[in-house]
Amino acid sequence: MDDDADDGVRLDGVPLTVEDVVRVARGRASVTLDDAVLDRVAASRAIVDGLADDPVPHYGVSTGFGALASTSIPPERRRALQRSLIRSHAAGAGPLVEREVVRATMLLRLQTLATARTGVRPEVVRLYAGMLDADVVPAVHENGSLGCSGDLAPSRTSRWSRPARARPSRPTARASPAATPSPRPA
């Protein structure tokens, strides 16, 4: 991790520091992506695309998940499978997580995506960085539908946060109950 400017954090394959995460989480640092990171992400995605076209089943790419792992998904339904997975994880309840916690989670997810080990499209990596830079922070509830899945509850909301599909909260927006984190119980 190196800083190109006093307030910038550059994702270049070097691990983030605690200071990097705090600066981005609190909205004081921009995020930039190294071109080599995007090249590696694109190469990783090409592997996933190849698996999707392979007649041999590949878990979660050409099959269902969990108990449906042995169920083959026809090629014309595979995009719908991925969309349905995200939708199924986009439920939440309870108080909203604080903005800086969501921003930190988004940065950490971005760092993971930038490792080029997840098979996402480069556009997803750019979207995360762009959301952080534009201070578009999705409303993430403390309780999700995923139980033991840890970071998936906030991550699914971040992935789902697109116009007409989620209501991101912005510091400049007029506060409303849906966009204002509830105080945590003592």
**Region of poorest pLDDT, from 22-26, 64-68, 131-135, 143-147:** 143-147
Catalytic residue list contains 59:
yes
Top-confidence residue, 63 or 1: 63
pLDDT tens column, 99-108: 999 999 999 9
* Phi, psi dihedrals of residue 172, rounded to the nearest 5°: -90, -10
CB 116 within 8 A of CB 40: yes
For residue 4, which amino acid is it?
D
Element (H, E) at 43: helix 35-53
Question: CA–CA separation, 126 vs 122, rounded Å?
Answer: 6
Share of the chain above pLDDT 70, in %: 74
Of the pLDDT bands very low, low, confident and very high (cuts 50, 70, 90), residue 146 is: low
* pTM summary value: 0.74
pLDDT at 177: 39
User: Nearest-CA neighbor of 179 among 135, 122, 124, 146?
Assistant: 135
Catalytic residue among 59, 149, 162, 171: 59
DSSP β-ladder status, 141-144 and 30-33: unpaired
User: Nearest-CA neighbor of 129 among 115, 157, 109, 100?
Assistant: 109
Kindly provide the b/e burial profile for residues 78-91, where b requires at least 16 CB atoms within 10 angstroms of the residue's own CB: beebeeeeeeebbe
Top-confidence residue, 185 or 143: 143
pLDDT at 139: 85
CB 11 within 8 A of CB 33: yes
What the chain holds in terms of domains, given with CATH numbers, is: 8-160 (1.10.275.10)
pLDDT mean over 45-51 = 94
Share of the chain above pLDDT 90, in %: 49
Of the pLDDT bands very low, low, confident and very high (cuts 50, 70, 90), residue 129 is: very high
